[in-house]
Amino acid sequence: MKLLQVDTLEGVRKKLLAADGMPEPETETVSLSDAFGRILAEDIKTKEAIPSFRRSSVDGYAVCSKDTAAATDSIPVFLEVVEEIHIGHPAVKKIVPGTCAYVPTGGMIPEGADAMVMVEYCEMFDEKHVAVCSAAPFGSYVVDMGEDAGEGELLLKRGTRIGPAEAGVLAAAGAERVPVFVPWRVTILSTGDELVPVGRNPLPGQVRDINTWALQAYVRDSGMKTVKAAALVDDEELLEAEVRSALADSDLVLISGGSSQGKKDKTNDILDKVSHGGVFTHGLALKPGKPTILGCESESRTLLAGLPGHPVAALTVFQLLIVWLWREKTGQTEPVRTVARMKTNLASAPGKTTCLLVRLDWDGNGYVAEPILGKSGLITTMAQADGYVMVDMNREGLKKDEIVPVYRFS
């Protein structure tokens, strides 16, 4: 009996980076509002300093700080108000000792002034003078020119996801149009004579197609794009034709099911025929996820991936290889994970990287990770999971009370 020759997770990742003919993410320039949620394809630097002038962070009076050194509630300092700055307009007059100017929050601080006194500590004395009742230390409530970012300063790195703060930074930098990566276009083919569409009631022996749906949602969540998703009967010619017709407009072709060594497992043969130089991985030392097949077609630069038919295994391989590769190719950093204390001992399969679903409970001080056990890692258990822990192939498991990183699917 022929057994699968397996690659380690680390080994297969190296192969994915080194393989010839792999898809490379393309870039495009889109409007700022179309860039939300996308991944930056270039570093973004400031064109000019932000802010480009000295601003007040309060409503109040711009003063020479030395003037106010002795000011108190009972013995205020009186200053002549020489100007009222209007928001959005330049300050005209220079502040000299004994004078001040009203500046609203965000307004321009006039030359000569070196501090702001909040309006709450001032009272108009007559039409031209204000009584300042509190000392304003040098620089207080002054946002210096370039304090947010200097001219030519790196604001956002290539590979950054454009969330709320990044959208704000891009707006501040005047980035009307933004260079972003074009999402990889993904074709998802689920194979199996047992599969029926989601709207149909399965007969004995039949099940509803799960993988095209779960993978489509995953493709979307990870910032890629599904161009086609279909469930196919087990037919070698049909599958080969579908794979070949997907090449032209797909960076990735995912085929789930048909990747183990059973009688109908022709995915390997087909991917071997279609891919340039044959498949380079058939079998992964990963639990779950062993029956994984990888190859690529170098002309269209399409990665061909045979994923396990089992939903949790398919999603695990998608996370650890496809999402990982997309992040690597686009310069994304690993997302923040959480940390938890293991609730129980957990045995793993030595010689394989093991990926285990856990549920997290907050015990007041931190999270406790409880493994979700189930002999076949069913899709419902995955929906109950808050994340997964990983056990290195050289370890035999995790110990109770051990502190472990917990990763999220996506």
Alpha-carbon 340 to chain mean position: 21
**Residue 269 CB, nearest distance to a second copy (Å)?**
16
Compute, in degrees rounded to 10, the torsion defined by CA atoms 189, 190, 192, 195. Answer: -130
Determine if residue 408 is left, alpha or beta; phi over 0 gives left, psi from -120 to 50 gives alpha, anything else beta.
beta
Closer CB to a second copy, 296 or 387, in the complex: 387
**Residue 76 CB, nearest distance to a second copy (Å)?**
13
As a whole number of angstroms, the distance between CA 22 and CA 14 comes to 13
Which residue bears the tokens 């997290």? 360
**Residue 406 CB, nearest distance to a second copy (Å)?**
8
- Give the range of 15-23, 193-201, 241-249, 390-398 binding a second copy by CB under 8 A: 193-201
Is 195 a residue that touches a second copy (CB under 8 A)?
yes
Which residue bears the tokens 């204000």? 130
- Residue 285 contacts residue 8 (beta carbons within 8 Å): yes
Q: Which two tokens stand for residue 317?
A: 């391989």
Determine if residue 144 is left, alpha or beta; phi over 0 gives left, psi from -120 to 50 gives alpha, anything else beta.
beta
Among 74, 75, 89, 127, binds a second copy (CB under 8 A): 89
Closer CB to a second copy, 23 or 311, in the complex: 311
Closer CB to a second copy, 68 or 222, in the complex: 222
- Residue 258 contacts residue 266 (beta carbons within 8 Å): yes
Hey, which residues between 158 and 177 contact a second copy (CB under 8 A)?
Answer: 160, 162-172, 174-176
As a whole number of angstroms, the distance between CA 99 and CA 406 comes to 60
Closer CB to a second copy, 1 or 248, in the complex: 1
Q: What's the half-sphere exposure (Cβ side, CA atoms, 13 Å) at 107?
A: 23
In angstroms, what CA-CA distances link 344 with 61, 287, 365? 62, 19, 18
As a whole number of angstroms, the distance between CA 290 and CA 247 comes to 25
**Residue 286 CB, nearest distance to a second copy (Å)?**
17
Hey, which residues between 36 and 55 contact a second copy (CB under 8 A)?
Answer: 36-37, 48, 50-53, 55
Q: Which two tokens stand for residue 91?
A: 């300050």
Closer CB to a second copy, 89 or 237, in the complex: 89
Q: In what order do the strands lie in the sheet with 302-307?
A: 225-232, 185-191, 252-256, 302-307, 293-297, 281-282
**Residue 339 CB, nearest distance to a second copy (Å)?**
5
Hey, which residues between 266 and 295 contact a second copy (CB under 8 A)?
Answer: none
Among 266, 282, 290, 310, binds a second copy (CB under 8 A): 310
Size of the site for a second copy (CB under 8 A): 112
Hey, which residues between 343 and 362 contact a second copy (CB under 8 A)?
Answer: 360
Q: Three-state SS for 68?
A: helix
Among 366, 395, 396, 401, binds a second copy (CB under 8 A): 366
Among 14, 66, 86, 94, binds a second copy (CB under 8 A): 86
Is 81 a residue that touches a second copy (CB under 8 A)?
no
Among 245, 261, 298, 344, binds a second copy (CB under 8 A): 261
Is 263 a residue that touches a second copy (CB under 8 A)?
yes
- Give the range of 16-24, 181-189, 192-200, 293-301 binding a second copy by CB under 8 A: 192-200
Q: Which two tokens stand for residue 5?
A: 């020759």
- Give the range of 28-36, 179-187, 277-285, 292-300 binding a second copy by CB under 8 A: 28-36
- Residue 348 contacts residue 331 (beta carbons within 8 Å): no
Hey, which residues between 197 and 256 contact a second copy (CB under 8 A)?
Answer: 198-218, 220-221, 234
Closer CB to a second copy, 176 or 299, in the complex: 176
Hey, which residues between 102 and 121 contact a second copy (CB under 8 A)?
Answer: 104-108, 119-120
Is 410 a residue that touches a second copy (CB under 8 A)?
yes
Closer CB to a second copy, 273 or 337, in the complex: 337
Bridge partners, 272 (sequence order): none
Q: Rounded to 5 degrees, what are φ and ψ at 318?
A: -60, -45
**Residue 277 CB, nearest distance to a second copy (Å)?**
28
Is 403 a residue that touches a second copy (CB under 8 A)?
yes
As a whole number of angstroms, the distance between CA 243 and CA 279 comes to 14
